Amino acid sequence: MESETESNAPATPDTRGSRDLVGSLQKGLSVLEILANAPEGMTLTEVATEAGLTRAGARRFLLTLVASGYARQAERRFLLSAKLLGLTRTWIGDAAVWHYAEPIMRGISETLGESCSAAVLEGEDVVYVARVSGRRIVSVALNVGTRLPAYCTSMGRVLLSDLDPAELTRFLAQASIGAKTERTVTDRTKLAETITLSGVRGYAIVDQELELGLRSIAVPIHDKAGRIAAALNVSTQSARFTCTQMEKIVLPPLRQAAREIEDFLALQ
């Protein structure tokens, strides 16, 4: 087992500092960093090689991260989850990317008179990481840190579209799915088709599936590796915009805003 040992030798300036460190924690954090640089995931052998660990040691760290919710396993590959955002929820609102994105989102909100939000995928939910409220009020209370089910939200469907078919099938098989309104799509086969179509089209529209009278449209925000890092949406009252109008009026500026945020991510 990976363990921390202490020496009986007198402490020197060099050894005193090292004796105050938890070696196993350092190794675990290094595994987190390695996974963070591989958005497509890594195998056990790849992580062990990169981290300078034995396969047994790497396996313990990876399974601990999975059990703790900080990573997930997709067949033979391990990938980071978004749980770290839960620990840094207060900080994330001021993080560089969302600090940069806020005036862009505010511009959309002021132009359209609607709210603009950004979210990431965490487990079965989307977690809001940035939000600019519009002038019109909807009954759903949404703030940074709010969680909503991914399957019936526009941002959730955009984020889920980045999963490969096998991962999406597993997600839908395990997810808690129920009707939020009479319009909510709950058939898992139809959901898979809708999510896949969202990936092909590059946007998703959800029409009153989360709440009657509420429509939303979302687009992906890609990281520099080309994976979907977050989603950006505009939500509105159904009396304000039809779905066709959202595609014609809301979608173009929303896509432009996503590109501007992606340009910032590419520099990180």
pLDDT tens digits, 235-262:
988 889 899 999 999 999 999 999 998 8
pTM of the entire predicted model = 0.64
Which of these, 89, 93, 105, 120, lies nearest to 235 by C-alpha position?
Answer: 105
Average pLDDT of the residues in 166-183: 91
What is the number of H-type helices and E-type strands within the chain?
A: 12, 9
Question: How many whole angstroms separate alpha carbon 230 and alpha carbon 268?
Answer: 15
CA angle 210, 212, 213 (to 5 degrees): 115
Give long-range contacts, CB 8 A cutoff, 24+ apart: 257-261: 257/101, 257/104, 257/105, 257/107, 257/108, 257/116, 257/232, 258/219, 258/220, 258/221, 258/232, 260/104, 261/97, 261/100, 261/101, 261/104, 261/118, 261/221, 261/232
pLDDT in tens, 74-111: 889 998 886 765 555 444 444 567 778 888 999 999 88
Question: How many whole angstroms separate alpha carbon 119 and alpha carbon 130?
Answer: 7
Q: What is the mean pLDDT of the chain?
A: 84
Question: How many whole angstroms separate alpha carbon 92 and alpha carbon 50?
Answer: 29
Least confident of 79-93, 163-177, 178-192: 79-93
Structure confidence at residue 87 (pLDDT): 56
Domains contained in the chain, CATH given: 13-80 (1.10.10.10), 84-266 (3.30.450.40)
pLDDT surpasses 70 at 191? yes
Average pLDDT of the residues in 131-141: 65
Residue 78 φ/ψ, nearest 5 degrees: -115, 135
The residue whose two tokens read 């052998």 is 45
DSSP 225: T
Question: How many whole angstroms separate alpha carbon 121 and alpha carbon 78?
Answer: 16
On whether the CB atoms of residues 151 and 172 are closer than 8 A, the answer is yes
